[in-house]
Amino acid sequence: MNDLFGAEFLQASPLILAGPILQQTDSDTVTVWVALQRPCEVVLQVYDTANHGNLITNLLLEGRRATYALGKSLHIVVVTAESAGRYLLSCDRIYAYDMQFIESSTQQQTLQQALCSSRFPTVNISYFDHQKPTFALPPTDLQDLRIVHGSCRKPHGDGFDALPILDCLIESAANQPRQRPHQLFLTGDQIYGDDVADPLLWVSSQLGDALLGWEERLPLIQQTAADPSYVTPKQLLPGHRADIATHQAGFTAGLHNKTAKVSSHLLSLGEYYASYILSWSPACWPSSLPKGREVMHGHRVSRRWDKEVQDMQQFIHTLWKVRRAMANIPVYTIFDDHDVSDDWNLNQAWCLRVLGQPLGRRTVQNALLAYAVFQAWGNTPKQFTPGQPGEKLLQAAADWSASGGMNMVAWDAIARYLGMPPTNPRTGLPEFVQYDSVLVLDRDPEALTWHYTVRSFCHEVIVLDTRTWRGYPADQKPIAPPMLLSPPAFTQQLSQPLEQATHKPKGLSQMQATFVIAPTNLFGLQVIDWIHHWHLKREKVYGVDVGDAWNINYEALAKFLTTLFEQRQQVIVLSGDIHYSSVVRLSYTRKSIGSEKKSVLVQLTASAFKNEEIITEIIHTRLKQWLLPEKSRQWLGWTNPPYMVEVSRRKSYRDASSHRPPEWHGLMEWISRTSTQTADFSTNISWLMTAKEQAKSHKWEWLQYLAFWKLSWFQDGREVIGLNNLALVHFETDNNNCTKVMQDLYWFSTWYPIKVVYSRFESELIHSKLSKS
């Protein structure tokens, strides 16, 4: 077991370790990400199809690029296909793509050959007989647009993984370009760097070292001369990292007696690399995992290991569907905190605590480098073209790995291009710069930007980075809640994209829908607000993420709303983070002399893919609406300077606005979900459970009818979906030109037999006749 990923394992593994993942795709370029175990030149070809996608026809786009050696057995590339003749892809068609992998003048593999090996003799990543992955561009009519989103996918989290449901959605409409999903947005926590199952760390640590071909020297602070100055990942065993993660790295997830959250924290670059591969592909998982008694000491920790192994096996069982889905739909991502560590950049105190420690800074940089390579590269491939900061980052990462982690010039270059703040040589703490009344982490002018905008024929999606551009109040305590977007971030990430001229196909007068991706919620449950303010008063901010919700800082939220509504009349916000799904509608009315302007914001929250908890399972049911129903809430606001106050029955209008008349009014309402429906593709979900899970389900079948809390009538709550879920967003316009946005939340029923079911949330957008200015 000590040489789990030796030469024999890699020889029996396919050339492709993870992928292909279809990423940024528009009318003139198609981008695909892939991770290989050997260096190659990769050719990407995009084809037209006929007969509803069943027949491959003309070659339309082509591109090629060589891999980057990020480890001895890890070679990654994002290749973009373009048209030499400026051929433009159109909507309402099915397109297919193929890949070739050229290792030498005499050695070349097709996509299908590169996916297969002795361990995986057959691999299917297509929905058609031709075995090529396919996609369809977003339509010109908003009513035909299908967007999928979700967040928070923890491999050992409770419940079944909901991301494989995407494969069912695509498969059921694969030959229908208007009906199949057009884009997937992963809105945060694609991996978990902090809350890691012991078996996952055990595999990640060994796989990471095998991929790199060297062992990383993780820096430590020496309290005495006899203390070690560094450790390697394998010296930090699963289940035994709480002390080093909390005190040497400074991470906050393990504070307040929550050591289990960091007892297997990822630390090394190889571990972060490996976690992505293990989350997206079955290719590097060993055929079996050891029993707890073989690797752990103690009955309690051995039992926990065995339970987590069962979770891992169930997770691995459906990974083939995740892999196929991500090959057949454009995938766009943005990080949240767990992609690095819980509470990442939560407040100024966290930055000082973690980035002021050598191991904390090293781990954050490792996590950001892994994010750049595995996610950001495909989001914004132009940043990684020759001469651009991304390409310089890739070269520095290759140099760092080639040196076995000893080339500090390369390491410093990586820090610069990732936007890591410089360290003050006198204090050892990260540097900040001040904008107005807030402090922002300093960054090099050449640093990559993580925010971006996606535009299509009928919609635009503005993806925000609310982690690395925060504004920390300069005149308050370091634990004070920040602005999730600092003043320069508001300009660069929101104002400028909203002002830019959008790509409008001929015949379209305006963009039909504007989406904004905010990884953390603008508005949440009222009880969560109470909890946040209660903990803030007691200066206990880390346990419940005080500062990650927009409405804990009213100045920033008011600026966000006014900035949006200055440019757009209706906005749809996609968010995740909070492990339940819901829909909230904010009606915004701005008054001026002799007129008023009405706008609307609809917040669509989808979380978690795999991380349901006891509390979310409770609020999923009717119990929540019986005991603590959500009520409408109202705010009064001002634009210069931006601010807002909530109006309640205990506060009069005069109390809230005595200093000057309000300039706008906001009314927030919770949208109720419809009764649960069975999905059309739910007739056969034999793919869902492992043999052990199926046997367990049959064994307790009789109990299903006694457990009333699992039955459909009790599970049919009205406010939130609290079980693992995936969201499909689409639109409907009636004869009166009134448009509704609909979010269908798909989840697995708790009753027997288990089915894929969904509940729908419907919210009206602005009716054109209701607005006047």
Question: How confident is the model over 414-440, as pLDDT tens digits?
Answer: 999 999 999 999 999 999 999 989 999
Of 40-49, 191-200, 312-321, 701-710, least confident by mean pLDDT is 701-710
DSSP H stretches of helix in 403-518: 408-418, 487-489, 496-499
Is the pLDDT reported for residue 503 higher than 50? Answer: no
Taking a C-beta distance cutoff of 8 angstroms, is the pair 601, 635 a contact?
no
Phi, psi of 744 (to 5 degrees): -95, 120
Cα distances from 388 to residues 75, 352, 369, 680, 694, in angstroms, run: 20, 30, 16, 47, 51
What domains sit in the chain, N to C, each tagged with a CATH number? Answer: 7-138 (2.60.40), 677-770 (no CATH)
Q: How far apart are CA 576 and CA 279, in angstroms?
A: 19
Q: With contact defined as beta carbons under 8 Å apart, do 728 and 146 qualify? A: yes
- At 700, the pLDDT band (50, 70, 90 cuts) reads low
pLDDT at position 144 is 95
Q: Which phi and psi (to 5°) does residue 676 adopt?
A: -65, 135
pLDDT in the model for residue 106 = 84
∠ CA 755-125-19, rounded to 5°: 110
Q: What is the pLDDT of residue 767?
A: 54
Please give the model's pTM, rounded to 2 decimal places.
0.95
Higher-confidence position of 351 and 257: 351
pLDDT level of residue 655 (50, 70, 90 thresholds)? very low
Residue 272: other Cβ atoms inside 10 A: 25
Per-residue pLDDT tens over the stretch 349-396 = 999 999 999 999 999 999 999 999 999 999 999 999 999 999 999 999
Whether residue 158 is predicted with pLDDT greater than 90 in this model: the reply is: yes
Confidence of residue 606 (pLDDT cuts 50, 70, 90): very high
Q: What's 159's DSSP letter? A: S
Distances in Å between the Cα of 405 and the Cα atoms of 96, 211, 270, 409 are 40, 13, 11, 11
* Residue 128 neighbours by CB under 8 Å, 6+ apart: 53, 54, 96, 134, 174, 175
> For the chain, percent helix, then strand, then coil, each to nearest 5?
30, 25, 45
Confidence of residue 99 (pLDDT cuts 50, 70, 90): very high
The whole-number pLDDT of residue 687 equals 92
pLDDT at position 2: 56
pLDDT of residue 501: 54
Mean pLDDT on 266-270: 98
Cis peptide before 155 (omega within 30 of 0): no
- Candidates 365, 295, 341, 349; CA nearest to 194 is 341
Residue 519: half-sphere exposure toward Cβ, Cα within 13 Å: 26
The least confident of 18-27, 484-493, 586-595 is: 586-595
Q: Are 728 and 662 in contact (CB under 8 A)?
A: no
pLDDT computed for residue 653 by the predictor: 47
Copy the structure tokens of residue 705: 């009818």
Beta bridge partners of 433: 440
Residue 159 in this model has a pLDDT that exceeds 60? yes
Spatial neighbors of 530 by CB under 8 A, at least 6 apart, are none
Mean pLDDT of 727-749: 92
CA 493 to chain centre: 18
Tell me the two tokens of residue 730: 């689409």
* Mean pLDDT taken over the chain: 92
The reply to whether omega before 14 is within 30° of 0 (cis) is no
**CA nearest 251: which of 205, 299, 196, 202?**
196
In whole angstroms, give the CA distance from residue 223 to residue 229. Answer: 10
Q: CB of 483 within 8 A of CB of 553?
A: yes
> Residue 178 CA to chain centroid, in angstroms?
25
CA–CA dist 68, 401 (Å, integer): 11
Average pLDDT over residues 3-13: 85
Is pLDDT of 654 > 70?
A: no
Query: In the chain, pLDDT over 70 holds for what percent of residues?
Result: 95
**pLDDT of 515-568, one tens digit each?**
999 999 999 998 888 888 898 888 899 988 888 989 889 999 999 999 999 999
Sheet of 459-463: strand order equals: 452-455, 459-463, 513-517, 570-575, 595-605, 582-592, 664-670, 633-639, 642-647
Assigned token pair, 297: 């000491």
pLDDT at 463 over 90: yes
Asked if the model's pLDDT at residue 752 lies above 90, the reply is no
List the one residue out of 312, 766, 702, 736 whose CA is nearest residue 564. Answer: 766
Q: Tokens 């100055």 sit at which residue?
A: 229
91's tokens:
């909507």
Q: Are 162 and 746 in contact (CB under 8 A)?
A: yes
Contact present, 100 and 111 (Cβ < 8 Å): yes
pLDDT for 57: 96
- Of the candidates 740, 585, 572, 578, the residue with the CA atom closest to the CA atom of residue 670: 585
What is the rounded CA–CA span in Å between residue 448 and residue 388?
9
Task: Please answer whether residues 228 and 316 qualify as being in contact, where contact means their C-beta atoms are separated by less than 8 angstroms.
Answer: no
Sign (positive/negative) of CA torsion 715, 717, 722, 725?
A: positive
| Closest to 512 in 3D by CA, of 184, 727, 732, 666 | 732
Closest CA to 273 of 177, 348, 410, 375: 375
Q: How buried is 484 (Cβ within 10 angstroms: 0-12 exposed, 13-18 middle, 19+ buried)?
A: buried
Give every CB contact of residue 612 below 8 A, 6+ residues apart in sequence. 157, 158, 159, 579, 722, 723, 724
Q: Taking each helix axis as running N to C, give the angle between helix 358-371 and helix 408-418, from 0 to 180 degrees, rounded to the nearest 10.
A: 70
The DSSP letter of residue 481 is: P
Start-end of H helices in 419-524: 487-489, 496-499
More confident residue, 10 or 659: 10
Q: Which pLDDT score, from 0 to 100, does residue 696 have? A: 75
Reply yes or no: is the peptide bond before residue 398 cis, omega within 30 of 0: no
